[in-house]
Chains A and B, each alone.
Chain A
């Protein structure tokens, strides 16, 4: 039997009474979901790798060392060395920064642009909605990676530009999602009531619509971070993102593919790193969706 849905208006008023029952139930549900916890753990691992990279790595990730070129994994170099003699593990740890940054910042851009646009489109409707929706549709009709490639090529290859490109390409999804949610919430009685008593548009959007729109956005954000990490790796792999010598998992794979017969470890470990990071965010997003969705029992 499905649990009864807590009335929506309760969410708007609950900030005065401490953690509402819903949130506590959500957290408990999350903790019971083993996959979600695994995801959170993986994400935490990646974050720790990124934050503590300078202390965890034994070698300089950028300094070339021509005496130790392409050595297999050993006690001195756990993951072996690359074509310039650099320690793969150290580069992996530092590369976590680029990937994590790429994931979080791109999605940040997408959310910061997409959510307000979606709110405006959903709330005001008519012409505003028409224009915003057409732009979102236009962006959505070009496949994500191709749009990101074109944008990254326009901006020039660099991590910052790749993040901007991915952010802009991911933005329409948030516009669509927010717009849909805003339309639903706007139709609720209490919103009409708020209009009736003369609350301004801005107040209504901020106090009533936005908080109810947030949960699916958070879920989508987590899943989009996963997509963004793969997108950054893909762009770097193609030569459009973080360029060498700065370490990034994608650009490491770009170089590694030329040495896959002589030094397969150069390809294996960055790939596994990307896999674990993306898996972590996917599991986390899934877990959040299950925890925040009132319908799942």
Chain B
């Protein structure tokens, strides 16, 4: 098994290098001069000249790439061109925010999606299954930024029930923190919950049809026991793989949710940085995201092998 893990890690390295080149190349191809945006409405020519020197913008692109990689390897991801805050502190500040949002969204998604999927599979073909499927598809089809706008309008503007923006750290005020994240997490979790429900349902269905389940039923085991003890545990494998996939969707959904609810997280950081031509931030953040993604997929692979003993021998 260690060999499998080592193998996967080795494969991840060229991928990571390719990603870094991709991000760097994209940034360099962005239209317009990044320095112009940094110089604000005053456009002081002396400042523009100094900035070009400071950020090596007049040197050939491969040189700039090498300089950047050298810094990254030393743990220096640069500083925001707009605010001079180091990128590493920005990530340290904002990642927990997005992780909190993602975690709360995942809780909603799993809490509703998985049981719904199990029940739906168990009552296959019935009205419950049919209705749940339409409900899930609807959840997947609603654009989450629209759901966010509508919820802000109804819940915050009309009913004054929940705050419509901002972020409170859980260490500062736990319940206010949950309250502020509630709507965004619901909005983000809706689509995910819907997808999770469908995946759980289809995973359960394919397991329920297998021979050994039929054997268990034939042996006279209660339906409930069969479903929970045998079927679900085996259905966990594809569910876990899907969770890894959904992590990527979660991050993408977070981008929009954070924009709508003005949450100072990772997603908002990236979008603002792209609009402000804040190269350093975009490069650093996307690289870190790709790294996380690769790590999460690696963990999913390992989990997959652990859960499925047949693969351990391979």
Contact = CB atoms under 8 A, between A and B. Distances in A.
A and B touch in the complex (CB under 8 A): yes
B252 interface: yes
Contacts of B23: 142, 150
Interface string B30-49: 11000000000000000000
Nearest to B287: A142
Interface residues of A, number: 43
Contacts of B141: 226, 230, 275-276, 278-279, 282
Interface string B285-311: 010011001100100000000000000
B68 interface: no
A200 interface: no
A107 interface: no
A282 B137 contact: yes
B29 interface: yes
B271 interface: yes
A280 to B, nearest CB: 8
A134 B147 CA distance: 36
Interface residues of B, number: 49
B30 A153 contact: yes
Interface string A222-242: 000010001001100111000
Contact of B18 (A135, A145, A260): A135
A80 to B, nearest CB: 15
A143 B18 contact: no
A145 B30 contact: no
B133 interface: yes
A257 interface: yes
Interface in B271-294: 271, 274-275, 282, 286, 289-290, 293-294
Contact of A143 (B138, B147, B252): B252
B149 A150 contact: no
A153 B272 CA distance: 11
Nearest to A260: B153
Contacts of A278: 140-143
27 contacts: A137-B18, A138-B22, A142-B289, A143-B248, A145-B255, A146-B255, A146-B286, A150-B26, A150-B282, A151-B26, A153-B30, A234-B145, A234-B256, A237-B143, A253-B146, A260-B149, A267-B150, A267-B153, A271-B147, A275-B138, A275-B142, A275-B143, A275-B146, A278-B142, A278-B143, A282-B141, A283-B137
Given A144-B252, A146-B251, A261-B153, 4 more contacts: A134-B15, A149-B270, A150-B23, A237-B143
